[in-house]
A and B are shown apart, each in its own frame.
Chain A
Amino acid sequence: MPPRDEIPPGTLYMLILKTLARTGRMHGFEIANAIQQMSEDVLQVEEGSLYPALQRMLLKGWVTAEWGVTAGNRRARYYTLTKVGRKQLETELSQFRRVNQAIIRVIQMA
């Protein structure tokens, strides 16, 4: 098993938003798996912390949720990105890039 890193603080929302933007409708477990797989198992979400984050995103109106049925015929709550959420993703991404580049510049100078 390759080493796994905790995701950097503050980026969880961005990751969830991005994941939903890419794949559309997903439930919590799928989101957690997707993040893990897409990062080629480097990033690991502390799985439970996904849910308070999702609640906050519901409150902010970035996502909406509705109950549906999984492939294994179980009730699951599916999340979809809203317009506001899409906009939020853009701001978070650009902010993240800005900060990231700055950090990289600092590191390379040393």
Chain B
Amino acid sequence: MMWFRELWRRLTALSRRKQIDADLEEEMRLHMDLRAQQQAEAGLNLDDARYTARRKFGNLLLLQEAAREVWGWASLERLWQDLRYAIRMLRNSPGFTAVALLSLTLGIGANTAIFSLLNAVILRLLPVPDPQQLVQFTYTIPSSGPDNWNSWFGYPHLERFREQSRTLSGVFGGVSLNGVNVGWHGTAGLAQCDAYTGNFFSVLEVAPQQGRLFVADDDRPGADAVVLSDGYWRTRFGGDPRIVGQTILIDQLPFVVIGITPPRFSIYTTAERDLWVPLHAIDRFTPDPSRWHAAFSSWLLIAGRLQPGVPVAAAEAELDLIHRRLLAEQLAASDRYGRQSLERLVRESHLLLRPAANGMLTGIRQMYALPLKLLMGVAAMVLLISCANVANLVLARASHRRRDIAVRMALGSGRARVIRQLLTENLLLAGVGGVLALAVARWGSIALVCMISTGDSLVPLDVHPDWHLFGFTAAVSVASGVLFGLVPAVRTTRVDPTSALKEGSRSSTRFSRLPDRMLVGIQMTLSLVLITGAGLFTQTLGNLRHVDVGYDRDNILMFSVDAKLGGYSGKRAGALYRAILDHTSAVPGVQSASMSIARPVDDQYYLIDRIGQVDGHDLPEAETIKVAWNSMSPGYFSTVGTPILLGRDFDLRDSGRAEKVVIVNESLARQALPGRNPIGHHLDGAEIIGMVKDSLYGGARDQLRPVLYRLLFQSEGGTDQSQWVGAGAVSVELRYRSGSGLVDEVRQAVASVDRYLPIFRVKTLRAQTEDSFLRERLLATISSFFGGLALLLACLGLYGLMAYAVARRTAEIGIRMALGARSKEVVWLILRQTLLLVLCGIASGVPLAIWFARYTKSLLFGIAPADPLVIAAATLLLMGSAVLAAFLPARRASRIDPMVALRYE
């Protein structure tokens, strides 16, 4: 703090410089006058007294200078001089300035934009006190490989951790209810809701903005408290503090608003929540008393805060013990089917703590961490290329400024002083570039967020510039300023003034051109790496798009409804869904309509089950068939365009029948009943009535797998209310003839059934498919953009180098032509140099590209990291562009008139 105050005094003194100087002078004059007076009183005459006083005081001017020096103005003055000079120099060569600034802005801007996303997704900490103490609980699952872990626990685990842990100061748990319907004053609206234990806010140490947050007593059976987020409070309730204490409806159930969280509070850094209810409130939405003591269930996220000073490893050891002891107890008390795999789980499962300082695990982080890191690397390479470009420009300019610098040095300027002057110029360029880059990045990062957002709302990534971002941009700007400035500055000042002044303008030929060539070579290398990467990602996207998923992607509109949101349950939900299906299939323009739990290319549900019985014979445990399943209404297959190969579709007769019926896909038929016609056989007691063509259940990246199709509405109680909390929505698929205005008509159709029931996830199947390629599209688009940018910059660099070479060698070329060289040979002379550079770039770029491609492996689809075709194409593209860039200077060289060239000097 001391240095800060000192700096502050120094800076404030700057504005009072004249005053301080005057004060000092007056003070010193007073001193001498008083001394003279004293001497005079001692008996000296006035002149002698004055003289003595002066002598005793010392050198007045020197002392004044020394006193002034204290405030450190001299270095500031020099800096100001350098800056003014730099501005003048840059203004005098607008072409250079514009090109350099453009290169830097794009380079730094690319980095800042990607960094702002990386910052939001990975780096930003939760806005709570001491976030580094937060940990999230996960445990390993042995049966599915070493890297597999689960973050969902059963409620007994949470209780046990809370009771027994001594290393944690608090443990809380909760679950997302996802979309809920919030009603207030007769209007309905979708909102994101979480249910957490009563200690959620106190463990996180969050203080309310209005009202109060949960206390332990709120979390009890029949809980009816709700806490609103700041954002939701402002958008839905207009920031009115009187909402606290009022009753709102969540899925038609009354809840009392008890408080508002502070702004930006979230337990995720990449997702927002609108409201929180106590954990036990979920029994009001979907009553299930068994969930509070069921063993081996997994529906709760658990996290906690470490006691101060307790290392993670110690806490992990303690909690692992609790976790394993509980599992063993649960196994002993259980008589569940599938004991073998359970025994293995109990034997081998371990508890792991994951740092939760930047939020609980979310899909976004897992999905985008690697791509963003890769893109950060790509952006860094683009910046290197643009720095190389600017360095080349500076070098070229420096040879013109040699005389100017020689004059300055001859007049007594120190070399350090001149270097500092040149560096100031470069840092100024980089600084302006950095500021412009912030603007570019702001726009770019918002565009990126729009790109990765799908469906109804934006991904709530906070890409607002913060100090991290400013710091990053500043560091990158300064680093690039030094990077492209220091070498040229040092080299330019390594001159002997006398000889430099004597030389003519040809002096530049004595410069070694090696650094310039190396820079262009590096640009070529990096460009090749980037183009190869862009090629790999583009090819991946293309491959994914051409995968036959087994659906007809065109002319299908889908939307979801959730009976829970309207307060329907059980049989009433079934009736509601049937009414919605009837009304929407009657919409003009709709050819056929169907309803299912999971929709084609679903991004939310992936339903898994096991078949343990074929035709009445129990399968041994190791041979039970793992299937993906789905439930649908009749007409689903014809609507989504999956052919029925054998047997028939569900129809209305089946709904009333007591015996369950199912449809299988080819893979399931092959596995359960190899070599036989599956129709009429039974799986787990359900009769197979049809077999459909294989389709990819989870979208283009999925494998072909056994799929079981059940009939929606067949079982008692309407829909197959499934095992997880917050589910229960169904998807409606509509095959249409013309899509214009369809969404509005569909909304009206649903509203005619229930005016307050929202529909969501409204998407065509094509859009749904495209969205499932989002990460690939992001990578392909940005890497192509960066690849193109890199190529453009590298070609500019090459063009500059060659143009300069031709200008420099005008006389030599003139002599060659006078001696009989033909223009073809001259063109070759220049092109040869270019090709050599490009070949060097390729020779180092290909291995580098292959090396980097290893990191992309998990992101590729249907293509190997070192795909020879992509590398060959990238090489050709680079070569072609380079020759094109060098062709203009080469042609100019071939048109040199020998007579003009020889006189040129």
Number of interface residues of B (CB under 8 A): 28
Whole-angstrom CA separation of A76 from B30 in the bound complex: 7
Tell me whether A27 and B24 are in contact (CB under 8 A): no
Chain B residues whose CB sits within 8 angstroms of the CB of A5 once the complex forms: none
Chain B residues whose CB sits within 8 angstroms of the CB of A51 once the complex forms: 24, 27-28, 31, 63, 67
Tell me whether A74 and B30 are in contact (CB under 8 A): yes
Tell me whether A48 and B6 are in contact (CB under 8 A): no
Chain B residues whose CB sits within 8 angstroms of the CB of A32 once the complex forms: 31
Tell me whether B6 and A61 are in contact (CB under 8 A): yes
Whole-angstrom CA separation of A75 from B56 in the bound complex: 22
Tell me whether A52 and B70 are in contact (CB under 8 A): yes
Q: Which of B18-43 contact A (CB under 8 A)?
A: 23-24, 26-28, 30-31, 33-35
In the complex with contacts A51-B67, A59-B9, A59-B70, A28-B58 CB distance below 8 A: no
**How many Å from the CB of A51 to the closest CB on chain B?**
5
Give B residues with C-beta under 8 Å from A.
Answer: 2, 5-6, 9-10, 13, 23-24, 26-28, 30-31, 33-35, 56-60, 63, 66-71
Tell me whether B27 and A52 are in contact (CB under 8 A): no
Chain A residues whose CB sits within 8 angstroms of the CB of B70 once the complex forms: 52, 55-56, 59
Q: Which of A16-51 contact B (CB under 8 A)?
A: 27-29, 32, 46-49, 51
Tell me whether B35 and A52 are in contact (CB under 8 A): no
Tell me whether B31 and A77 are in contact (CB under 8 A): no
Given contact pairs A48-B59, A55-B71, enumerate 16 new A-B contacts (beta carbons under 8 Å).
A28-B30, A29-B31, A29-B35, A46-B58, A47-B31, A47-B56, A47-B58, A48-B60, A52-B66, A52-B70, A55-B24, A55-B67, A55-B68, A56-B70, A61-B5, A72-B34
Question: Which among B9, B13, B34 has the highest number of chain A CB atoms within 10 Å?
Answer: B34
**How many Å from the CB of A2 to the closest CB on chain B?**
16
13 contacts between A and B (CB under 8 A): A28-B27, A47-B57, A48-B59, A49-B63, A49-B66, A51-B27, A52-B67, A55-B24, A59-B13, A61-B2, A74-B33, A76-B27, A77-B27
Question: Which among B30, B59, B60, B69 has the highest number of chain A CB atoms within 10 Å?
Answer: B30
Chain B residues whose CB sits within 8 angstroms of the CB of A56 once the complex forms: 70
Tell me whether A28 and B31 are in contact (CB under 8 A): yes
Chain A residues whose CB sits within 8 angstroms of the CB of B30 once the complex forms: 27-29, 70, 74-76
Chain A residues whose CB sits within 8 angstroms of the CB of B2 once the complex forms: 61, 84
Whole-angstrom CA separation of A55 from B31 in the bound complex: 15
Chain B residues whose CB sits within 8 angstroms of the CB of A27 once the complex forms: 27, 30
Q: Please provide the 10 A-B residue pairs with the shortest distance between their CB atoms, ordered closest to farther.
A: A48-B58, A48-B63, A52-B66, A52-B67, A55-B70, A48-B57, A55-B67, A29-B31, A56-B70, A29-B34
A97: CB under 8 A from chain B? no
Chain A residues whose CB sits within 8 angstroms of the CB of B59 once the complex forms: 48
Whole-angstrom CA separation of A74 from B32 in the bound complex: 13
Chain A residues whose CB sits within 8 angstroms of the CB of B56 once the complex forms: 47
**How many Å from the CB of B43 to the closest CB on chain A?**
14
**How many Å from the CB of B22 to the closest CB on chain A?**
11
**How many Å from the CB of A41 to the closest CB on chain B?**
13
Whole-angstrom CA separation of A67 from B20 in the bound complex: 12
Chain A residues whose CB sits within 8 angstroms of the CB of B71 once the complex forms: 55, 59
Chain A residues whose CB sits within 8 angstroms of the CB of B69 once the complex forms: 52
Whole-angstrom CA separation of A70 from B26 in the bound complex: 14
Chain A residues whose CB sits within 8 angstroms of the CB of B33 once the complex forms: 74
Interface string of A53-66 (1 = CB under 8 A from B): 01110111100000
Question: Which among A27, A51, A70 has the highest number of chain B CB atoms within 10 Å?
Answer: A51
Tell me whether B58 and A61 are in contact (CB under 8 A): no
Whole-angstrom CA separation of A55 from B9 in the bound complex: 12
**How many Å from the CB of A9 to the closest CB on chain B?**
15
Q: Which residue of A lies closest to B34 (CB)?
A: A29
Tell me whether B9 and A61 are in contact (CB under 8 A): yes
**How many Å from the CB of B592 to the closest CB on chain A?**
83
Q: Which residue of A lies closest to B20 (CB)?
A: A55
**How many Å from the CB of A72 to the closest CB on chain B?**
8
Chain A residues whose CB sits within 8 angstroms of the CB of B66 once the complex forms: 49, 52
**How many Å from the CB of B763 to the closest CB on chain A?**
65
Question: Which among B13, B26, B56, B70 has the highest number of chain A CB atoms within 10 Å?
Answer: B70
Chain B residues whose CB sits within 8 angstroms of the CB of A72 once the complex forms: 34
Whole-angstrom CA separation of A32 from B30 in the bound complex: 13
Q: Which residue of B lies closest to A77 (CB)?
A: B27
Q: B23: which of A48, A74, A77 is its contact (CB, 8 Å)? A: A77
Chain B residues whose CB sits within 8 angstroms of the CB of A74 once the complex forms: 30, 33
Q: Which residue of A lies closest to B56 (CB)?
A: A47
**How many Å from the CB of B75 to the closest CB on chain A?**
14
Whole-angstrom CA separation of A32 from B38 in the bound complex: 13
Whole-angstrom CA separation of A22 from B58 in the bound complex: 27
Q: Which residue of B lies closest to A45 (CB)?
A: B56
Whole-angstrom CA separation of A70 from B5 in the bound complex: 31
Whole-angstrom CA separation of A74 from B28 in the bound complex: 13
Chain B residues whose CB sits within 8 angstroms of the CB of A48 once the complex forms: 28, 57-60, 63
Tell me whether B10 and A59 are in contact (CB under 8 A): yes
Whole-angstrom CA separation of A50 from B24 in the bound complex: 11
Whole-angstrom CA separation of A70 from B31 in the bound complex: 12
**How many Å from the CB of B14 to the closest CB on chain A?**
12
**How many Å from the CB of A61 to the closest CB on chain B?**
6
Tell me whether A75 and B26 are in contact (CB under 8 A): yes
Chain A residues whose CB sits within 8 angstroms of the CB of B23 once the complex forms: 67, 77
**How many Å from the CB of B885 to the closest CB on chain A?**
56
**How many Å from the CB of B10 to the closest CB on chain A?**
7
Q: Which residue of A lies closest to B30 (CB)?
A: A76
**How many Å from the CB of B28 to the closest CB on chain A?**
6
Interface string of A87-99 (1 = CB under 8 A from B): 0000000000000
Chain B residues whose CB sits within 8 angstroms of the CB of A29 once the complex forms: 30-31, 34-35
Q: Which residue of B lies closest to A61 (CB)?
A: B5
